[in-house]
Amino acid sequence: MRIGIDIGGTHTDGILIDGTRLVAAAKIPTNHDHLLESISQVLHLILDGQDPAGVSVLNLSTTLTTNAIITGKTDPVGMLVAGGPGIALETYRIGDHFHQIPGSLDHLGTETAPLDVNQLESAIADCCALGVKRFAVAVKFSPRNPVHENLMRDQLGERADFVSTGHLISGQLNFGRRIHTAYYNSAVSRTFRSFTTALTASLSGFALQCEVNILKADGGTMPLVRAQEAPVQSIFSGPAASVMGILATTPASSDMLMLDIGGTTSDIALFASGQPLLEREGIAIDGHPTLVRAIHVESIGIGGDSLISMGANGVQTGPQRLGPCMATGGPAPTLMDALNVLGLAAFGEVQRSIEGMVILAASHGLSGVQLARDAVDTAVNAISTKIESLIAHVNSKPVYTIHEILEDREVTPEKIIVIGGPAAVFKELLQVRLGIEVVIPPFHGVANAIGAALTRSTSHLTLTADTTKGKLSVPMLGVFRSIPRGFNLDTAIEESKNLLQGDLAQAGISISADEIQITQADSFNMVEGSYTTGKNIRVVAQVQPAVVARLDASSAEVLISGRP
């Protein structure tokens, strides 16, 4: 059996699955001050009458790191960076202990100025004097050559409790993002570690002896031990859990959309041939772009609790939220109330929705029904416009080969899967506005927890080889070594698969070679004068987000316990 838990901003959802059958589900309000408490509560509910020994996997999606960052409850980080020429390093300043060390590498990884060890030492000493225990190091072009980052890490030695090293976080080039990703990784490391320690203790209290994984923003999981090294990867996993929930409950092979309607916001994601699309580089944390791989999710400030108001341009729905809808005791009419007024929903006390709407409408010379209709139209239009712009954005993404310009297929969604509380209500409305099939999957109230339970591990690596220099680098695995003369694109692809497989095996995950996808494989002639001196090879390999099983719809009648 597998357990999936998704700690969300409002609710914590948990489910227990046996094979393809949903055994139990629970939904409780999230206790943000004691996330463990929330976890314990759902575990109590879903494990009621079950044998914990039968549980083999527990996957957890948590807002822990996200909240720590948003609320500023992070630890100070000694940020050591070296950039050399280019965009001013000052641009990337983050935290209170940002130290710029002279030294530089070029785009081929050649050292163009040695790292200034004296300045490095004095920066470290400054941090230590201020009691800084956690560090992050990032050097421009370190994925091409880790020498300066390694030197920084070695110099820190025992003085650091935790070090995030740029090239181990991502093999992708982007110095600013590398700095910020390394910074946040260190900033949340202690919080994350103490949480996982407590979690482990708590799970043994439930007699759970299972494998524990943490959900990442790209929809995959990572084993707990890996998560302790890379806690930053656990941020914003909530929307990814919902996306994986779609894959776990709906047949998905075509181009399609997900719309997850929440209380304050709704999330939109796009699938190409059934595969969720990822962000090109990574998500932004607190306004800082990072290299954290993530499913591309667009949020829009419209949900069931969106406030209805009269603005200069007519009726406005969202993005404000004053509280729940009037039907459940809220202070002012919301989108959910409008749906009640129009008879599209019958949620809570419908009469209160009607009364509230009529009062607001009358003050603007409208009938309650008119106002409700306008409010719903506005919301549906805003969602549809967002969807259309997402599709246009994806279809106009830059490409770099003639082949892609000529052969690229446009993503054209055939259906939209709607989940979240008021999903069913929107079915008709969206179908009319978007002109595509709208599907409400079974279990859509806990799709996120189902997604968490059934998703598998993801991983990726970037391999660069320069046969002129005779060098191979796979930064994320810390692999930098020599290669023989005959090394070519085919050997590079083979090597990428082997390395990725080997790394996952080390984390206790077995994956067959054909589950590894090669997303980039290029080989360029390097020429000096008129002679080819070698090849510049680039390979990106990944294990894409996928679910281990699809849920059997006949188990849909399981009651969600603990519903608030």
Partner 1 sequence: MLKATSSLGVIFFPAYDWAISPTHPEREERLLYTQDQFREEGLFDIEGISEHRPLFASDQDIMRAHFCFPTVDAICTESHRISAGGAIQAARLVLEQETRRAFALVRPPGHHAMKVVHGNRGFCNINIEAVMVEWIREHYGRKRIAIVDTDCHHGDGTQDVYWHDPDVLFISMHQDGRTLYPGSGFPNENGGPRALGRTINIPLPPRTGDEGYLYALENVVLPILADFKPDLVINSAGQDNHYSDPITNMQFSAQGYARLNELLRPDIAVLEGGYSIKGALPYVNLGICLAMAGCDYSGVREPDFNAIALREEPDTLDYIKASCGQLLEGYFHPAMGAFEKQGEYFIRERKIFYDTDGIMEKQREELTDCDQCRGLRLIKTSSSRILPCLGVELPIDCCPACEREGYEQFNRKNDDFLVAQLLDQKNKQYRYRPSR
Measured from the Cβ of residue 114, the count of other Cβ atoms closer than 10 Å reads 12
Counting DSSP H helices and E strands in the chain, the numbers are: 16, 28
Least distance between partner 1 and beta carbon 277 (Å) = 16
Stretch that binds partner 1, among 60-68, 100-108, 298-306, 364-372 (CB under 8 A): 100-108
CA distance 392 to 401: 20
The binder of partner 1 chosen from 88, 129, 312, 559 (CB under 8 A) = 88
CB of residue 461 vs partner 1: minimum separation in angstroms?
Answer: 17
Member of 406, 435, 485, 559 binding partner 1 (CB under 8 A): 406
| Minimum CB distance to partner 1 smaller for 110 or for 122 | 110
**Could you give the maximum distance between any two Cα atoms of the chain, in Å?**
82
Using DSSP's 3-state secondary structure scheme, residue 89 falls into helix
Q: Is 400 in the site for partner 1 (CB under 8 A)?
A: yes
d(CA 299, CA 303): 10
Smaller CB distance to partner 1: residue 532 or 554? 532
Q: Which is nearer to partner 1, 81 or 547 (CB)?
A: 81
- Of 2-10, 106-114, 440-448, 474-482, the segment contacting partner 1 by CB under 8 A is 106-114
Comparing CB distances to partner 1, the nearer of 83 and 238 is 83
Task: Identify the residue among 388, 397, 507, 508 touching partner 1 (CB under 8 A).
Answer: 397
Contact pattern from residue 38 through residue 77 relative to partner 1, giving x for each residue in contact according to CB under 8 A and a dash for the rest: ----------------------------------------
- The least CB distance from residue 393 to partner 1, in Å, is 11
User: How wide is the angle at C-alpha 365 spanned by C-alphas 364 and 368, nearest 5°?
Assistant: 90
Sequence-ordered list of residues with C-beta below 8 angstroms from that of 472, at least 6 positions apart, any chain: 463, 464, 465, 479, 480, 481, 482, 483, 487, 492, 495
Scanning 435-543, the segments in alpha helix (DSSP H) are 447-454, 489-506
Long-range CB contacts (within 8 A, 24+) of 207-212: 207/52, 207/53, 208/3, 208/43, 208/52, 208/55, 208/58, 209/52, 209/53, 209/55, 210/3, 210/55, 210/56, 210/57, 210/58, 211/56, 211/57, 211/58, 211/508, 212/57, 212/58, 212/59, 212/60
What is the smallest separation between the CB atom of 478 and partner 1, expressed in angstroms?
A: 19
Query: Applying CB under 8 A, which of residues 54, 86, 314, 478 lies at the interface with partner 1?
Result: 86
Spell out, one character per residue from 519 to 538, where the chain touches partner 1: x when CB under 8 A holds, - when not: ---x-xxxx-xxxx---x--
Tell which residue, 287, 282, 286, 322, has the closest CA to residue 305: 322
Binding flags for partner 1, 475-514, as an x/- string (CB under 8 A): ----------------------------------------
Number of residues forming the site for partner 1 (CB under 8 A)? 45
Q: Which is nearer to partner 1, 175 or 271 (CB)?
A: 175
Among the residue ranges 42-50, 222-230, 396-404, 427-435, the one whose residues contact partner 1 (CB under 8 A): 396-404
**Burial level of 229, CB count in 10 A (0-12/13-18/19+)?**
middle
- Which one of 214-222, 336-344, 399-407, 552-560 is the stretch in contact with partner 1 (CB under 8 A)? 399-407
Of 195, 228, 237, residue with least CA distance to 35: 195
Identity of the residue, 180 or 321, whose beta carbon is nearer to partner 1 in the bound complex: 180
Which residues, 127 to 186, sit near partner 1 by CB under 8 A?
A: 140-141, 172-177
From 34-42, 46-54, 82-90, 543-551, give the range in contact with partner 1 by CB under 8 A.
Answer: 82-90
Which of 527/548 has CB closer to partner 1? 527
Residue 46's alpha-carbon distances to 42, 49, 114, 213, 454, in angstroms, are 6, 8, 58, 18, 16
Interacting span for partner 1 (CB under 8 A) from 109-117, 335-343, 438-446, 486-494: 109-117
Q: How far is the CB of 107 from partner 1 (least distance, A)?
A: 4
Nearest-CA neighbor of 136 among 192, 75, 86?
A: 75
| Nearer CB in complex with partner 1: 287/435 | 287
104 binds partner 1 (CB under 8 A): yes
Between 86 and 314, name the residue whose CB sits nearer to partner 1: 86
Is 435 among the residues that bind partner 1 (CB under 8 A)?
no
- For residues 141 and 487, which CB has a smaller minimum distance to partner 1 in the complex? 141
Closer residue to partner 1, CB minimum distance, 87 or 346? 87
Phi–psi pair at 136, nearest 5 degrees? -140, 140
By CB under 8 A, name the one of 53, 87, 322, 513 that touches partner 1: 87
Identify the burial level of 396 via C-beta atoms within 10 angstroms of its C-beta, where 0-12 means exposed, 13-18 middle and 19 or more buried.
exposed
CB of 481 to partner 1, least distance (A): 21
The DSSP H or E segment spanning 98 is strand 98-100
402 binds partner 1 (CB under 8 A): yes
Candidates 108-116, 263-271, 420-428, 486-494 — which segment interacts with partner 1 by CB under 8 A? 108-116
Residue 507: count other Cβ atoms within 10 Å of its Cβ.
13
Residue closer to partner 1 by CB (options 295, 537) is 537
**Which of 193, 137, 132 is CA-nearest to residue 159?**
132
Here the tokens at position 523 are 């080989």
Phi and psi for 349 in degrees, rounded to 5? -90, 95
Q: How far is the CB of 264 from partner 1 (least distance, A)?
A: 26
221: CB partners within 8 A, 6+ apart: 59, 213, 214, 215, 455, 456, 457, 458
3-state secondary structure 347-399: CCCHHHHHHHHHHHHHCCCCCHHHHHHHHHHHHHHHHHHHHHHHHHHHHCCCC
Query: What string marks each residue from 274 to 313 as x (binds partner 1 by CB under 8 A) or -?
Result: -------x-----xxx------------------------
What sign does the CA torsion over 201, 202, 205, 207 have?
A: negative
* Residues lying near partner 1 in the complex (CB under 8 A): 84-88, 91, 104, 106-108, 110, 112-113, 140-141, 172-177, 281, 287-289, 396-403, 405-406, 522, 524-527, 529-532, 536
